[in-house]
C-alpha cells in the first residue's frame, strides 16, 4: 500500500534544527518537490529546544522530530501509491539540514501476510 522511509539525520546544523519557521518551510518544500498534495501542516516548538511537526499529504505524511542538542533529526516519509517519490524528499532534507551523516530504512507498508507475496524491506538506502 505504501513506502515508508525512516531517515536519520545526524551531525546537522544545530541552529537550524531549533528554528520553527525554517524547519516547517523545509518540510513543506520537501513535500512539494516530491510532488505530494499537501492537506495540512502542523509544527510545534518545545522549550527549551526541539521541534516536532507533520506535513499531512493526500498520499500520507512527512514528519520530523528534532534534537538540536544532539544535532539530530528523525524523519518519517510515508507515501501511498506510486506517484510520490519519497527518496527525492529525503535527499532534499539531507541537503537542507546539512546532515553530515545519514541513514535510512525503507519499509513496504500494507504487505498482507496471507497474500502469498513475500515481505521485502530494504535496509539501508542511500539518501546522502
3-state secondary structure of 55: strand
Helices (H), the chain: 14-17, 20-33, 86-96
Indicate if the alpha-carbon torsion angle 98, 128, 43, 105 is positive or negative: negative
Polymer length in residues for the chain: 128
Other CB atoms within 10 A of residue 49 CB = 13
Please, which residues bridge with residue 71 across strands? none
80 given a catalytic annotation: yes
Of 4, 60, 61, 79, which one is the catalytic site residue? Answer: 60
Distance CA 10, CA 116 (A): 38
Of 42, 44, 61, 65, which one is the catalytic site residue? Answer: 65
Of 44, 47, 79, 80, which one is the catalytic site residue? Answer: 80
User: What residues act catalytically?
Assistant: 60, 65, 80
Amino acid at each position: 500500500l505504501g513506502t515508508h522511509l525512516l531517515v536519520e539525520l545526524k551531525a546537522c546544523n544545530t541552529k537550524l534544527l531549533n528554528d520553527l519557521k525554517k524547519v516547517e518551510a523545509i518540510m513543506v518544500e520537501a513535500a512539494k518537490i516530491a510532488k505530494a498534495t499537501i492537506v495540512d501542516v502542523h509544527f510545534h516548538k518545545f522549550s527549551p529546544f526541539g521541534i516536532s511537526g507533520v506535513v499531512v499529504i493526500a498520499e500520507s505524511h512527512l514528519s520530523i522530530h528534532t534534537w538540536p542538542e544532539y544535532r539530530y533529526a528523525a524523519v518519517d516519509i510515508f507515501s501511498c501509491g506510486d506517484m510520490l517519490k519519497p527518496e527525492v524528499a529525503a535527499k532534499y532534507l539531507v541537503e537542507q539540514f546539512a546532515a553530515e551523516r545519514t541513514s535510512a530504512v525503507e519499509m513496504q507498508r500494507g504487505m498482507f501476510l496471507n497474500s502469498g507475496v513475500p515481505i521485502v524491506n530494504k535496509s539501508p538506502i542511500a539518501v546522502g
